[in-house]
Amino acid sequence: MRFWFSKKKNSSECINNKKNNDEIYKAVLKNREAIDALEKKQVQVEKKIKQMEIEAKQKVDQNQMNNAKILLKRKKLYEQELENILNNRLTLEDNMINLENMHLHKIAVNALSYSANTHKKFNNEINTQKVEKIIDIIQENKDIQEEVNQALNFNLINNVDDDEIDKELNLLKEQSMEEKLSVEVNKIPEIPKDEEKVNFTNIEKEVSKVKEESDDEELKELIGEMT
């Protein structure tokens, strides 16, 4: 996958990278072939060591001590050969690991180098002066837009007829006064019918009481005149 900012490598660079990769591959392959050969040789030597040990034991059982010593000496030689094989194999494996690590280091260094060059290129393209210039242009455009908006709003307000506004305002005042009067009228409480009956009954009782008191006073005056 190629990123948008990546650049195409030139032919010479591609050839060099391919050549280096081929050399590393060949070196690793040769080490692997040598290790495989040593592994096969190791198996053969281990079998011979085991065989020498078995034969020497048989010679001891047969009381052939000289032959047993010869077999043990041969066994010792095979053991030395086995030790050399193991050392050579270990050296080859270590060398192969180093080659692989060198290849990985080379890949990492190439990636870091490419990233650093790309970063440097971007810094050259996007510097402080360019950024400040862009910000100034944006601010200038915002100021122009604000002036245009203010001009449009001013024209809209000036086009409104003041007489129509006054008429609408007076109409709103009248509606407001009517609503207030309606609210005040609705606030007057109504006298319940039961209370009206109670009040009329009380009034009748008071009138009757007054009449009785008046009759009593007239009767007293009449009796006084007769005596």
Residues 6+ apart with CB under 8 A from 45: 78, 81, 82, 85
Looking at the predicted structure, is the pLDDT value of residue 157 above 90? no
User: Between residues 199 and 187, which one has the greater pLDDT?
Assistant: 187
- Rounded Cα gap, residues 95 and 102, in angstroms: 10
Mean pLDDT of 196-223: 58
- Using a 10 angstrom Cβ sphere, with 0-12 exposed, 13-18 middle and 19 or more buried, the burial of residue 201 is exposed
- Using a 10 angstrom Cβ sphere, with 0-12 exposed, 13-18 middle and 19 or more buried, the burial of residue 179 is exposed
Mean pLDDT of 126-130: 77
- Rounded Cα gap, residues 219 and 227, in angstroms: 13
pLDDT at residue 227, rounded to an integer: 54
pLDDT at residue 146, rounded to an integer: 85
User: Between residues 111 and 126, which one has the greater pLDDT?
Assistant: 111
| Domains of the chain by residue range | 15-185
From the candidate CATH numbers 1.10.3720.10, 1.10.150.120, 1.10.287.1060, 3.40.50.620, the one assigned to the domain spanning 15-185: 1.10.287.1060
Looking at the predicted structure, is the pLDDT value of residue 99 above 80? yes
Is the separation of the CB atoms in 60 and 72 below 8 Å? no
Confidence band of 4 (pLDDT split at 50, 70, 90)? very low
pLDDT digit string (tens) for 26-61?
888 888 899 999 999 999 999 999 998 898 998 888
**The total number of residues written for the chain in this structure:** 227
0.75 surpassed by pTM = no
Confidence band of 222 (pLDDT split at 50, 70, 90)? low
State the number of CA atoms in the 13 A half-sphere of 148 facing the CB: 6
